[in-house]
């Protein structure tokens, strides 16, 4: 089963958020609400999903490959997840042979009882910690970095579970939003920099946690607030809530790419409407890189809000010059001759009647490898466009992410290999422009990037990583000993 991201081209020419998480405590329909919430977060991970529930006596789990609507299709499956507390996870990638073992929430029987964990993010010293744990006799059942946290809790010498949990988190570095369950409570937390998102809501007396506000909307919950960076929120089975801040209050660095692409446009992140931020990026782009043209064409669907903004600011009409098929899904048989770029055409087809003879401004959210951009420019020209100007609603992506986003190796990123002129030539556009980093920060409501203390994690654009990257350093050191080119390590 190989299900591809419906927003994506088959060559994967987008960054990919790797996970979405959801939890609810205090509702008799905990598993059904979790399934619905995960469904609303499906864009954060399409390959696998799972739910773990607690009925007051036992934990119940169901995990599967595929979409939420496939894995949790039947009422009988929901019925097998009884209880008032449940949490769930959608994920992008599961490495081949491992099958279901890496599908979350992970669950373990610890000395004090069961413990489940759903994780969005990436532990950047997971390999390092795992080696230490295995040397002491720990046996890992998955290749997931998340399991490291469970083993750290299991082997912590502190007396209470909360102390053991904090003790474990002190040892990990990187990005993590977590939703955990024990027989007594649900624990939600965000890493000290708040790199990955996590919000809290209420549905009646029940408390809900989710990666994005859209999941609250869909399950009918009221938004309460975001979990703060470094905060641990504990909710007991009786509904009592307590908040802990064991890591002090460092300056937050939430991921700015959530606004650019990952989050759904109908989510609100950091107090900003994602749709509005994208529309404002379009406005910034129109100001920073204006062009004479006849039609503003979004690359569907993620380029639409920025294209609307660009059209409004520039006065150039907005039109659907590319039509997206709703039926992509799987890899597909290609006739070996026949259509040129049939793989792209299956998903995106030029609206020739609209495009023919016009000067086009194409708006896309980002350029990763550049291969799809090139094909889409070509598709516009094949459909008779006179000129094709490419505008990108994010700065050049020229660094890998180590915080839970699937990025190609650095040397495959177009912006890491070429300057603007070379890129323009590569995609065969008449002109190419990216929004500036300050323009992006303005669109999210800042006056610009504060270089001394950036308000967001923007490492994919700037290379400014807000945490240590121990595993990467270890591999670089090892490669150094072996005389391997470091560039291939990332």
Out of 78, 210, 413, 460, the residue judged to bind a second copy by CB under 8 A: 78
For residue 69, state whether it binds a second copy (rule: CB under 8 A): yes
Minimum distance of a second copy from residue 480's CB (angstroms): 24
Out of 159, 333, 482, 485, the residue judged to bind a second copy by CB under 8 A: 333
Distance, CA of 443 to CA of 440 (rounded, Å): 5
Contact present, 255 and 456 (Cβ < 8 Å): yes
Residue 401 annotated as binding? yes
- Residue nearer to a second copy on the CB measure, 151 or 375: 151
Residue 49 annotated as binding? no
Contact present, 198 and 226 (Cβ < 8 Å): yes
Residue 365 annotated as binding? yes
Measure Cα distances from 465 to 89, 401, 458, 475 in Å: 26, 9, 8, 17
Out of 10, 93, 237, 351, the residue judged to bind a second copy by CB under 8 A: 351
Range 159-198, binding a second copy (CB under 8 A): none
Minimum distance of a second copy from residue 419's CB (angstroms): 34
- Residue nearer to a second copy on the CB measure, 69 or 484: 69
Contacts with a second copy by CB under 8 A: the residue count is 91
For residue 488, state whether it binds a second copy (rule: CB under 8 A): no
Residue 364 annotated as binding? yes
Out of 10, 155, 237, 462, the residue judged to bind a second copy by CB under 8 A: 155
For residue 75, state whether it binds a second copy (rule: CB under 8 A): yes
Q: How many CB atoms lie within 10 A of CB 404?
A: 24
Identify the CA nearest to 218 among candidates 434, 433, 37, 21. Answer: 37
Q: How many CB atoms lie within 10 A of CB 399?
A: 20
Contact present, 352 and 384 (Cβ < 8 Å): yes
**Residues with active-site annotation:** 19
For residue 353, state whether it binds a second copy (rule: CB under 8 A): yes
Residues 91-120, one symbol each (x = binds a second copy by CB under 8 A, - = not), give ------x----------xxxx---------
| Binding segment toward a second copy, per CB under 8 A, in 11-19, 39-47, 240-248, 410-418 | 39-47
Q: How many CB atoms lie within 10 A of CB 295?
A: 19
Out of 36, 393, 429, 432, the residue judged to bind a second copy by CB under 8 A: 36
For residue 266, state whether it binds a second copy (rule: CB under 8 A): yes
| Binding segment toward a second copy, per CB under 8 A, in 345-353, 403-411, 425-433, 435-443 | 345-353
Which residues make beta-bridge pairs with 235? 186, 241
For residue 22, state whether it binds a second copy (rule: CB under 8 A): no
Residue 460 annotated as binding? yes
SS3 labels along 112-137: CEEEEEEEEEEECCHHHHHHHHHHCC
With 0-12 CB in 10 A as exposed, 13-18 as middle and 19+ as buried, what is 204? exposed
For residue 57, state whether it binds a second copy (rule: CB under 8 A): no
For residue 238, state whether it binds a second copy (rule: CB under 8 A): no
Buried b / exposed e over 20-57, threshold 16 CB at 10 Å, is bbbbbbbbebbbbbbbbbbbbbbbbbbbbbbbbbbeee
Residue 453 annotated as binding? no
Identify the CA nearest to 385 among candidates 297, 311, 298. Answer: 297
Residue 255 annotated as binding? yes
Using DSSP, state whether 458 is helix, strand or coil: coil
> Residues annotated as binding site?
255, 302, 364-365, 401, 457, 460
């Amino acid at each position: 089963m190989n299900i591809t991201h419906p927003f994506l081209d088959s060559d994967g020419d987008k960054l990919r958020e790797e996970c979405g998480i959801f939890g609810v405590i205090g509702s008799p329909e905990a598993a059904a609400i979790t399934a619905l919430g995960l469904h609303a977060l499906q864009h954060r991970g399409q390959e696998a999903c799972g739910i773990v529930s607690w009925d007051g006596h036992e934990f119940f789990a169901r995990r599967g490959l595929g979409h939420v609507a496939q894995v949790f299709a039947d009422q009988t499956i929901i019925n097998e997840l009884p209880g008032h507390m449940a949490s769930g996870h959608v994920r992008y990638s599961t490495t081949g042979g491992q099958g279901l073992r890496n599908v979350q929430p992970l669950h373990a029987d610890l000395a004090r009882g069961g413990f489940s964990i759903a994780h969005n993010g990436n532990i950047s010293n997971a390999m390092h910690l795992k080696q230490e744990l295995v040397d002491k006799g720990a046996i890992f059942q998955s290749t997931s970095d998340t399991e490291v946290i469970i083993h750290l809790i299991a082997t912590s010498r502190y007396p209470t579970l909360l102390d053991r949990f904090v003790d474990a988190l002190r040892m990990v570095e990187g990005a993590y939003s977590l939703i955990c369950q024990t027989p007594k409570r649900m624990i939600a937390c965000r890493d000290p920099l708040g790199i990955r998102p996590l919000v809290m809501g209420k549905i009646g007396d029940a408390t809900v946690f989710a990666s994005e506000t859209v999941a609250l909307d869909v399950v009918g919950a009221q938004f309460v607030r975001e979990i703060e960076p470094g905060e641990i929120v504990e909710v007991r089975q009786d509904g009592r809530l307590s908040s802990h801040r064991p890591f002090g209050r460092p300056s937050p660095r939430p991921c700015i790419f959530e606004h650019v692409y990952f989050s759904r446009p109908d989510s609100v992140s950091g107090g900003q409407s994602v749709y509005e931020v994208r529309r404002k990026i379009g406005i910034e782009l129109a100001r920073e890189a204006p062009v004479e043209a006849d039609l503003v064409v979004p690359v569907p669907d993620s380029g639409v809000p920025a294209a609307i903004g660009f059209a409004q600011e520039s006065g150039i009409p907005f039109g659907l010059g590319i039509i997206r098929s709703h039926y992509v899904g799987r890899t597909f048989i290609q006739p070996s001759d026949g259509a040129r770029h049939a793989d792209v055409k299956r998903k995106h087809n030029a609206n020739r009647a609209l495009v023919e003879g016009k000067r086009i401004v194409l708006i896309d959210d980002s350029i990763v490898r550049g291969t799809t951009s090139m094909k889409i420019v070509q598709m516009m020209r094949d459909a008779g466009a006179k000129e094709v100007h490419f505008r990108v609603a994010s700065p050049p992506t020229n660094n890998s992410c180590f915080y839970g986003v699937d990025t190609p190796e650095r040397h495959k990123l177009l912006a890491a290999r070429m300057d603007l002129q070379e890129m323009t030539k590569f995609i065969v556009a008449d002109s190419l422009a990216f929004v500036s980093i300050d323009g992006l920060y303005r669109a999210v409501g800042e006056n610009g990037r504060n270089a001394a203390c950036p308000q967001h994690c923007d490492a994919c654009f700037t290379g400014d990583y807000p945490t240590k990257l121990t595993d990467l350093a270890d591999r670089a050191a090892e490669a150094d000993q072996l005389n391997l080119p470091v560039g291939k390590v990332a």
